[in-house]
Structure 1
Amino acid sequence: MKPPRRPRWSVVIPAHNCAHYLTWTLQSVMGQLGCRSDAEIIVVDDGSTDRPHEVVDRFGGGRVTIVRSDTPRGAVPNFNHCLAQASGELIHLLHGDDLVLPGFYDAMDRAFETPGLAAAFCRTQHVDSHSNPMAVTRRYVHGGGVWGGALMALAASNRISTPSMVVHADTYAAVGTFDETLPHAADWHMWARVAAHGPVYFVDQVLAQYRVHEASDSSSRIRTGANMAERYSALEHVLKLVPRNVRPRLRRSAAALGCYYALRMTRRQLRAGNLGTAAVQAGWAARSLRRAVLAA
């Protein structure tokens, strides 16, 4: 008997109490992969109380599997649970409140025609809780192509939004799982490990959307400053992936970028009227500036 054919695509969707957004997420995936026999779509529910299985039943068209946990594991452990469910060649980890735009999977298929790729990603539009557009991520290779400077850029700061990233299953098998000791920076650490493993392709199109809203894990960490504290903790893990002689320069770059990021968060929180959070982020901007000066 022949072994079952391996799917080309595994779209694994970690979800926790985001059933309203999950509707849009599933629709965005089903519109592109719903009719493809070489794709598996799996929602991995992390102990939600808002009945995500009803969304899957309604919008999954019989093509979406749901794996449920009664007790929440937490965001990063659930990412690893997602990877354990995937059997496809190309693995797309898509948050249950994010989505992909038309053409995402076709563009990624074309990118992976390049031999030996570890991963591919595209530009991302950030949107608010009502899907109003915010920022768009930068262009790294004009017109698209292998990003030669990926590891060095990622060693200083995370440049990749999770919904935009597709990783080859062989790459995940080689680099291992997400680091569960880094709740806010596990994705950054993972993308740097992926870039250290092999070539990363940049698709020069805006084909994914990342949602920024108050209920997200990222938002709660911004309120306490844990996002910045963990940024510097994760940095030391990431710098182990690059030669020793470039680490001082990358520490300076990371501190300067940390200052910029914290100031941007400060401005955003001031506009939203969140004065306490703005003060926390302003404090981290000052600490980051001091790090950059001392590292110079």
Structure 2
Amino acid sequence: MLPVTEPHRPRWSVVVPVHDCAGYLALALPEVVAQLGGRSDVEVVVVDDASSDDPAAVVDRLGAGRVTYVRLPVNLGAIRTFNRCLLLARGELVHLLHGDDEVLPGFYAAMEQALAAEPSAVAAVCRAEDVTADGTPTHTTRSYRHGTGVWTDALDSLALSNRVRAPAIVVRRSAYEAVGGFDTALPHAADWEMWARLAAHGPVVFVDEVLARYRRHAASDTSARVRSGANVRERVTATEAVLAHLPAPRRDGLRRRAMAYAAVFAGRTALQLARTGRWRAAAVQSREALRCLVVLPRGGRARPA
């Protein structure tokens, strides 16, 4: 359980975990400062997980005197760093913005407005675009409702797949305090399990606008796991952790759909890799797709995302 220790909190905490991505931080930080730098009820904190590059210099150059820099003495890894970020965040609204992702103009205003309109909501989620290392858009996440409002089937949707890009969610600090930190036993799916845990705890608002950018690049942990197939294997493991947040009568049907979707996901990834000539990684993803079909509970059918 996260401690409740701050009686007079800022409205916003934007906490930016970084590790060896100072170049991308230089792209992300100016937009955060542009949107929030003029407010007195905001804190922006860059948390450096013992990088070998120099994010401190980026903060000095682009932080406009509004950004705090914290360097961890030893490398904790991604999930433990995320939990350290939550402990450092004092604001009522917490945005955990990975250092290689970005927000688009209007992000903070739209998310704050959405949460103000739904006082019982634990979090707000917007649409996002996936981009390459150089910022070229490759995909835009779908709308889960028309117009901004409560995402009524958020938990069922999250039982099938991680529908939320990390830079596209803002969480009330009180909700993080209630549900606890990220699960370190899921080093590559802790965010997915966290979003499901939050959706089980209370309503989630969906903001039907593309307001964040999620970067996929060769140096990212995500890309390394795609090459080894670990992304799909942990997806299967994480499915059970996510399903645990649903009532028992709904689990079996959703489990079948989740495993079928995992197979579809791996197959699509294999096709995308093959189209760009990454044959070895494509073969790995194809193998993982077949494994998902082998363990698919009887009666399961693939269902499009």
**Which range, TM-score by smaller chain?**
over 0.9
Q: TM-score, normalised by structure 2?
A: 0.94
Q: How does 1:47-196 map to 2 (within 5 A)?
A: 47-113=50-116, 114-196=118-200
Give SS of 1:142's match: coil
Alignment equivalent of 2:261, drawn from 251, 257, 271:
257
Q: Does 1:247 align with 2:251?
A: yes
2:281 to 260, 277, 280: 277
Given that 1:156 and 1:251 are in contact with CA atoms closer than 8 Å, whether structure 2 keeps it comes out as: yes
Query: Cα RMSD between the aligned structures?
Result: 1.2
- Structure 2 equivalent of residue 10 of structure 1: 13
Partner of 1:223, secondary structure, is helix
> Which amino acid counterpart does residue 15 of structure 1 have in structure 2?
V
Conserved 8 A contact 1:178-1:187: yes
Assess if the C-alpha contact under 8 Å between 1:248 and 1:295 holds in 2: no
1:112 partner SS = helix
Amino acid at match of 1:153: S
Shift of 1:70: 3.1
Look up the SS of the partner of 2:86 in the other structure. helix
Q: Is the 8 A contact 1:119 1:200 kept in 2?
A: yes
Q: Would the aligned equivalents of 1:116 and 1:199 in 2 still touch at CA under 8 Å? A: yes
Aligned counterparts of 2:178 and 2:34: Cα–Cα separation in 1: 32
How far, CA to CA, are the matches of 1:49 and 1:181 in structure 2?
26
**Does 1:217 pair with 2:224?**
no
Deviations 1:243-277 (A, max 9, x none): 11111111111111101110121122112322111
1:31 is matched with 34
Aligned-partner residue type, residue 75 of structure 1 = A
What are the superposed Cα offsets for residues 188-229 of structure 1, whole Å, 9 maximum, x if unpaired? 000000000000000000000000001011111111111111
> Which contiguous aligned blocks of 4+ residues in structure 1 show a shift greater than 4 angstroms?
none
Change (3 A) 1:4 1:193: closer
SS at match of 2:138: strand
Q: 1:289 to 1:274 in 2, by over 3 A?
A: same
- Counterpart Cα distance in 2 of 1:18 and 1:146: 34
Q: Structure 2 counterpart of 1:227, which letter? A: N
Aligned counterparts of 2:122 and 2:238: Cα–Cα separation in 1: 22
Give the whole-Å Cα distance in 2 for the aligned partners of 1:4 and 1:37: 17
Report sequence identity in percent. Answer: 53
Q: Is the 8 A contact 1:123 1:137 kept in 2?
A: yes
Q: Which of 217, 221, 237 is 2:241 aligned to?
A: 237
Where structure 1 has 5 or more consecutive residues not aligned to the other structure, the ranges are: none
Give the Cα separation in 1 of the matches to 2:299 and 2:25. 44
The 2-side partners of 1:287 and 1:138 are apart by 27
CA offset at residue 293 of structure 1? 5.7
Shift of 1:47: 0.7
Q: Secondary structure of the residue that 1:258 maps to in structure 2?
A: helix
Count of paired positions: 294
1:286 and 1:130 map into 2 onto residues whose CA distance is: 33
Pick closer, same or farther for the CA change 1:252–1:4 going to 2, 3 Å. closer
Three-state SS of the structure 1 residue aligned to 2:53 is coil
Q: In the alignment, residue 166 of structure 1 is paired with which amino acid?
A: V
Deviation at 1:295, TM superposition (A): 5.0
Which of residues 42, 47, 50 in structure 2 aligns to 1:44?
47
Tell me the amino acid that sits aligned with residue 36 of structure 1.
R
Cα offset, 1:290, TM superposition: 2.7
- Normalised by the length of structure 1, the TM-score is 0.97
Shift of 1:12: 0.3
Q: Distance in 2 between matches of 1:58 and 1:50?
A: 15
| Aligned-pair CA distance for 1:57 | 0.2
- Judging changes above 3 Å, is the alpha-carbon distance between structure 1 residues 295 and 14 closer, same or farther for their aligned structure 2 residues? farther
Q: Please state whether the residue corresponding to 2:108 is helix, strand or coil.
A: helix
CA distance in 1, matches of 2:35, 2:198: 26
Give CA-to-partner distance per residue, 1:7-60, whole Å, 9 cap, x none. 100000010000000001101211100111111000000010111100000000
The separation in 1 between residues aligned to 2:66 and 2:247, in whole angstroms, is 46
Contact 1:251-1:295 at 8 Å conserved across structures: no
Q: What does residue 3 of structure 2 align with?
A: none
The one-letter code matched in structure 2 to 1:249 is G
